[in-house]
Amino acid sequence: MKTFIAPNPAYEDAVRKMLLSMPFVRWLGLSFEHIAPGRVDFIMPNRPEITFDGKAVQAGPIGALLDFAGGAAAFTLAPLGVMLATIDFSVKLLAPAIGDRFLGRGQVLSAGKSLIVARADTFVLGKLEEIHVATGLVTMRALA
Amino acid sequence: MKTFIAPNPAYEDAVRKMLLSMPFVRWLGLSFEHIAPGRVDFIMPNRPEITFDGKAVQAGPIGALLDFAGGAAAFTLAPLGVMLATIDFSVKLLAPAIGDRFLGRGQVLSAGKSLIVARADTFVLGKLEEIHVATGLVTMRALA
Amino acid sequence: MKTFIAPNPAYEDAVRKMLLSMPFVRWLGLSFEHIAPGRVDFIMPNRPEITFDGKAVQAGPIGALLDFAGGAAAFTLAPLGVMLATIDFSVKLLAPAIGDRFLGRGQVLSAGKSLIVARADTFVLGKLEEIHVATGLVTMRALA
Amino acid sequence: MKTFIAPNPAYEDAVRKMLLSMPFVRWLGLSFEHIAPGRVDFIMPNRPEITFDGKAVQAGPIGALLDFAGGAAAFTLAPLGVMLATIDFSVKLLAPAIGDRFLGRGQVLSAGKSLIVARADTFVLGKLEEIHVATGLVTMRALA
């Protein structure tokens, strides 16, 4: 995997502040597990409001987790003061999203001046293994 | 646009019950605007919890609206007793999602025995015009 | 569908020259059926080299047709002298691509200064009806 | 990355025969670099017919390479006698596709009875380094 250098040395603080200022991030209960240049891992707890049937998380919230993971990974590479906005994301479900806690992982694949592309994945954290629940791509655009 | 016939004559009731039983649909405050074979329109109100900054709705909830619109459109074509699950959805943002009310429209493009594909679009309902905010595709799978 | 105005009055000529200068467009045998601001229709003939089995066209060439249709539709809206490059396209197959002639249709959904998004569709032109074979989205970026 | 077991012990032969029987694979000049359960690497040579300008390969042929790589990776996991068909693929361009030889890599992420999802990537093979040119996802369906 490509290695990235963060143009903003205070990228970790910037990512935490930006993401945790978002009401929907707080409502989903996302917490940071890992932050590095081009890479962010979130933990998302399960809760009945985002499930289909009290157990399996719906595609929509899984997509929101992918968007936040990919977007936050991209934001680690934003210069100081530059805001990013999602221009697209895709969600492919690979296995039922059943479990207590989910890992959302964003990994930047390419970072240009105006566009940053990240891969995003969701895993359910089980006692014995991680199961790959969903994958997708997130594209972010720098706002002038 | 292709015309579809609903195999379940009580499709409208089935779609209403199924969707409104979902906690996340209720949390988002979705209401049905139109239901026909292969087509569902939802209204989603704006609210601070789903915005970036109190005004613009984030990509994640827009994606959830597309998923529900496409999924519900597909579900109008499900035989009685057949459940569907999302296997993928994509979201392409076209304009900022700023406004009080959003229209989420799902339109089935093809309906096979095991897979149904729908186009999904979100518009902001302004006083003078509708603005196309997002588009995507949703694929649903029949659960055996 | 939104109406667009072409900033380059000679857009039709520009699109024809640009697309027909591309070796792969010529190899596929694409011909223009319709050109308007934000909209291009191509005809693609079937030929054994792009089929799976002498009859059904493979997903790859269908994707290339979608990319050219969406890209050409976007190019009708490019200012004089501005080049565009594909940043992404997606292909969802809806029906087997069996037939003698295919219609590839690109329709711009949003046109910003740096990014243009188009819907792209492929239909097989049968004697009695058009069958919707594939749909997707194409995003083009203006090269500085 | 998840490990897969091929249900058909002769999967390697089956993949070679299937792919090399396809006229478009032969026209593109694809050769196998690596075949394992759930994983296939192809080499694709550059040639003027697939470029924009004699140098940079167009998005369409890059998409075809991703489709073949993901599809072939999926086909390594098909039971004897089961045919697969592409139901969707996506292409996100990450860097200009300039170079003499390209590596197309397909890696299965999930393999169900009816649907197989693979990640697909294209790299340009340079003298000093591999550059990640494109990424996408391919979904294959088992034909009954």
Cβ atoms of D70 and D119 closer than 8 Å? yes
- Kindly identify which residue of chain D lies nearest to residue B89, measuring between CA atoms: D88
Give residue-wise pLDDT tens across range C60-107. Answer: 999 999 999 999 999 999 999 999 999 999 999 999 999 999 999 999
Question: Count of residues for chain C?
Answer: 144
Distance CA C91, CA D66 (A): 12
Q: Does residue B115 sit at the D interface (CB-CB below 8 Å)?
A: yes
**Residues B15-52: b if buried by 16+ CB within 10 A, e if exposed:** beebbeebbbbeebebeeeebebbbbbbbbebeeebbb
- pLDDT for D138 beyond 80: yes
Give residue-wise pLDDT tens across range A61-112. Answer: 999 999 999 999 999 999 999 999 999 999 999 999 999 999 999 999 999 9
Distance CA A138, CA A135 (A): 10
* Residue A143 CB coordination number (10 Å): 10
Distance CA D1, CA B136 (A): 29
Q: Please choose, from the candidates A30, A39, A44, A33, the residue with its C-alpha nearest in 3D space to the C-alpha of residue A11.
A: A39
Position A127 confidence tier, pLDDT thresholds 50, 70, 90:
confident
Give residue-wise pLDDT tens across range D93-124. Answer: 999 999 999 999 999 999 999 999 999 999 99
C-alpha R_g of chain A: 14
Chain centroid offset of residue B137 CA = 10
Q: Does residue D24 sit at the C interface (CB-CB below 8 Å)?
A: yes
A92 and D137 in contact by Cβ < 8 A? yes
Q: Please state, for a pLDDT cut of 70, what percent of chain B lies above it.
A: 99
> Rounded to a whole number, what is the distance in Å from the CA of A117 to chain D's nearest CA?
8
> Rounded to a whole number, what is the distance in Å from the CA of A100 to chain C's nearest CA?
33
- Residue A63 φ then ψ, to 5°: -65, -40
C109 and B119 in contact by Cβ < 8 A? no
How is residue D115 written in tokens?
A: 């649907």
B88 and D88 in contact by Cβ < 8 A? yes
* Residue C15 CB coordination number (10 Å): 23
Candidate from B92-96, C101-105, C125-129 with smallest mean pLDDT: C125-129
Mean pLDDT of chain C, nearest integer: 96
- pLDDT for B11 beyond 80: yes
Does ipTM come in above 0.90?
Answer: yes
- pLDDT for B129 beyond 90: no
Task: Kindly give, in sequence order, each residue whose CB lies less than 8 Å from that of residue C63, ignoring residues fewer than 6 positions away.
Answer: C89, C91, C134, C136, D60, D63, D64, D67, D89, D91
Q: For the whole model, what pTM was predicted?
A: 0.97
Give residue-wise pLDDT tens across range D6-30. Answer: 999 999 999 999 999 999 999 999 9
Quote the pLDDT of residue D54: 86
Closest partner CB to C114 (pick from A88, A90, A114) = A114
Distance CA A6, CA D18 (A): 45
Quote the pLDDT of residue C72: 98
Mean pLDDT of chain B, nearest integer: 96
In A, residues 44-63, which contact C (CB 8 Å cutoff)?
A: none
Mean pLDDT of chain A, nearest integer: 96
Position B139 confidence tier, pLDDT thresholds 50, 70, 90:
very high
Cβ atoms of B42 and B29 closer than 8 Å? no
Quote the pLDDT of residue A2: 82
Give residue-wise pLDDT tens across range A18-36. Answer: 999 999 999 999 999 999 9
Closest partner CB to B59 (pick from A27, A52, A86) = A86
Contacts of D107 in chain A (CB under 8 A): none
Q: Please state, for a pLDDT cut of 90, what percent of chain C lies above it.
A: 93
Contacts of D110 in chain A (CB under 8 A): 94-95, 132
How is residue B108 written in tokens?
A: 């089935």
Closest partner CB to D114 (pick from B88, B114, B139) = B114
Average pLDDT score over residue span C112-116:
96
Q: Does residue D135 sit at the A interface (CB-CB below 8 Å)?
A: yes
